[in-house]
């Protein structure tokens, strides 16, 4: 019998994973989806069943793997908080076979690294980080828990991105930048100076929205 993977979220991230099982080396697994949208339960998504709500994981009586297939940082954190008391499943980190990960990189649990991403030496991806297609992470950069980087994000060396940060498509930072927790960075923004927690920034150079 195949080992089971439950993908949380029958949406864009989950769809990408289910469409590219070989790319992530998980084509031997039995795939099932969990989603809190009751209209989806009992149907299929990308050819795989949507079996129940997310709390179903708390009832598991046998070990399984879980993929956090959700892009939005605060929703990822909320889901983790809801199901974190269970110990009968393991969060799986997925790295596309055509991503480049240097030696001396730390990657936490529940991360997803899409095709074309590059992560340089000394970098750290904490738990439940998503790097969408073609992101570039500079040396000794750190990406905080639950943060998500949209396609084409470029992070300069020694940059620190906090927890639950949402980086828009094509946004970039200079070196030695700090982006505070729970911040949102607009698409194509260029971060040239550090920004505090709970900021929303846009533009070139990026400015904090009042």
- Say if CB 72 and CB 148 are below 8 A apart: yes
What SS3 state is found at 14?
Answer: helix
Cα atoms in the Cβ-side hemisphere of radius 13 Å centred on 93: 14
What SS3 state is found at 93?
Answer: coil
Residue 152 assigned as binding residue: no
How do the residues of the chain divide into helix, strand and coil, expressed in percent and rounded to 5? 10, 30, 55
| CA 169 – CA 202 distance, rounded (Å) | 12
- Say if CB 133 and CB 147 are below 8 A apart: no
Residue 54 assigned as binding residue: no
Q: Which residues contact 188 (CB under 8 A, 6 or more apart)?
A: 168, 169, 170, 171, 204
| CA 63 – CA 78 distance, rounded (Å) | 22
| Binding-site residues from annotation | 169, 187
| Binding-site residues from annotation for acetyl-CoA | 169, 187
């Amino acid at each position: 019998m195949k080992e089971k993977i439950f993908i949380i979220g029958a949406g864009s991230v989950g769809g990408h994973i289910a469409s590219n099982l070989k790319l992530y080396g998980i084509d031997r697994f039995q795939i099932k989806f969990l989603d809190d949208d009751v209209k989806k339960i009992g149907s299929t998504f990308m050819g795989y069943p949507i079996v129940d709500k997310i709390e179903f994981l708390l009832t598991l009586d046998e070990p399984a793997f879980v993929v956090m297939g959700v892009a939005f940082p605060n929703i990822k954190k909320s889901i983790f908080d809801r199901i974190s008391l269970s110990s009968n499943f393991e969060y799986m980190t997925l790295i596309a076979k055509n991503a480049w990960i240097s030696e001396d990189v730390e990657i936490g649990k529940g991360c997803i690294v899409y095709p074309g991403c590059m992560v340089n030496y000394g970098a750290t991806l904490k738990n439940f980080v998503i790097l969408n297609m073609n992101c570039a992470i500079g040396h000794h950069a750190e990406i905080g828990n639950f943060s998500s980087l949209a396609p084409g994000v470029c992070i300069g060396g020694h940059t620190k991105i906090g927890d639950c940060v949402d980086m828009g498509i094509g946004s970039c930072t200079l070196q030695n930048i700090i982006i505070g927790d729970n911040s949102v960075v607009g698409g194509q923004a260029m971060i040239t100076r550090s920004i505090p927690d709970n900021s929303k920034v846009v533009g070139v150079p990026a400015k904090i929205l009042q």
